[in-house]
Amino acid sequence: MTDTINIRSDSYKKPKLRKIGVFTSGGDAPGMNAAIRAVTRTALANKLKVIGIRRGYQGMIEGDFMPLRSSDVSGIIQLGGTILKTARSKEFRTPEGRQKAWLQLQNAGIDAVVVIGGDGSFTGALTMSQEYNVSFIGIPGTIDNDMYGTDYTIGYETALNSVVCAVDKIRDTAVSHGRIFIVEVMGREAGLLALNSGIACGAEVILIPESKEQHEALKRFLEKGYKSRERSGIIIVAEGDEPGGALKISEEVRRDHPELDVRVSILGHIQRGGSPTANDRINATRMGVAAIDALLDDQKSIMIGLDNGKIVQVPLNKAVKLNHSFNGELLQIQKLLNI
């Protein structure tokens, strides 16, 4: 674990580290550009050459590389998405695909790679680093905030604010018409975005994969709470909730309560885009600097994380294999406030 960041002088530099690659992988997340900028400029400040790998692992397999100068990352800190583009590569999941990727790195003289992405991206990095001698440093970038070992992933805060803005608007219609809105929030395997946006919007019910008992809360709300209160309501459901997302839930609600005026809103990719919040930019920048610092310290196969605001290093095998922690306290608060 480390909580200090140093820009190394030439005398500290390991001679073998001369050229690094940086790429984004999996779902884009606001703040990825801030991380690319920080990685590039910290590496350049330490006299390392920087290669941007476009389109994630697929671009690595195809040798879609571009040298990055300081000017190439100018004016990008405020942009959503990723200037390097991203992909979910099926080919990289095969041993043949990873061999091609390794040969491309060899040909380009890339000694180490910074990967900005989520769980799947880090699993790929770990597998390749076990098969070939490539140093990978991970920076967690996903709106899901579902990585073990870090309180924060790049893009989560921006996405959370996007969800809150959208649901506040939906609330206007829900109240005006006396309707129940079932709003689906992203999170295939994780409910943190749904849980926190639900708290921030005062949702009447929040359905997330981490807690099955919330379905009882939904029943109670529809049977008693809805009638006793203002006759409208917001039900936030995480995309990965069991037994299904918003459409499935709406079918059940309509079947059991045909008297209710029910609407569904699936927020979709509107949650992933947009200009990153100040915190997303600041944390992405800190993580980008810390990633190069770790490489200069000869680290490999680690993820940079944030623990109570401090930069930490987490072994990649833990980051991908262990489950992210879930704070049940927020669910209790939600129940308490929905009397």
Q: Which residues bind ligand F6P (CB under 6 A)?
A: 27, 88, 142-144, 186-188, 239, 272
Helix (H, G, I), strand (E, B) or coil at 306: strand
Q: Which entry of 111, 119, 144, 241 is annotated as an active-site residue?
A: 144
Identity of the amino acid at 262: V
DSSP letter for each residue of 3-34: ----PPPGGGS-TT--EEEEEE-SS--TTHHH
Shortest-Cβ-distance residue relative to ligand F6P: 27
Cβ at position 263, least distance to ligand F6P in Å: 22
- Contacts by 218-224, CB closer than 8 A, 24 or more apart: 218/249, 218/253, 221/338, 222/180, 222/253, 222/256, 222/257, 222/260
Cβ at position 257, least distance to ligand F6P in Å: 28
Nearer to ligand F6P, 275 or 338 (CB): 275
Active-site residue, 144 included: yes
Which structure tokens are listed for 97? 């695909």
Nearer to ligand F6P, 191 or 233 (CB): 191
Angle between helices 119-131 and 95-108 (to 10 degrees): 80
Nearer to ligand F6P, 232 or 271 (CB): 271
Cβ at position 142, least distance to ligand F6P in Å: 5
Nearer to ligand F6P, 88 or 93 (CB): 88
Cβ at position 30, least distance to ligand F6P in Å: 11
Cα–Cα distance between 252 and 246 in angstroms, integer?
A: 10
Which positions are catalytic? 144
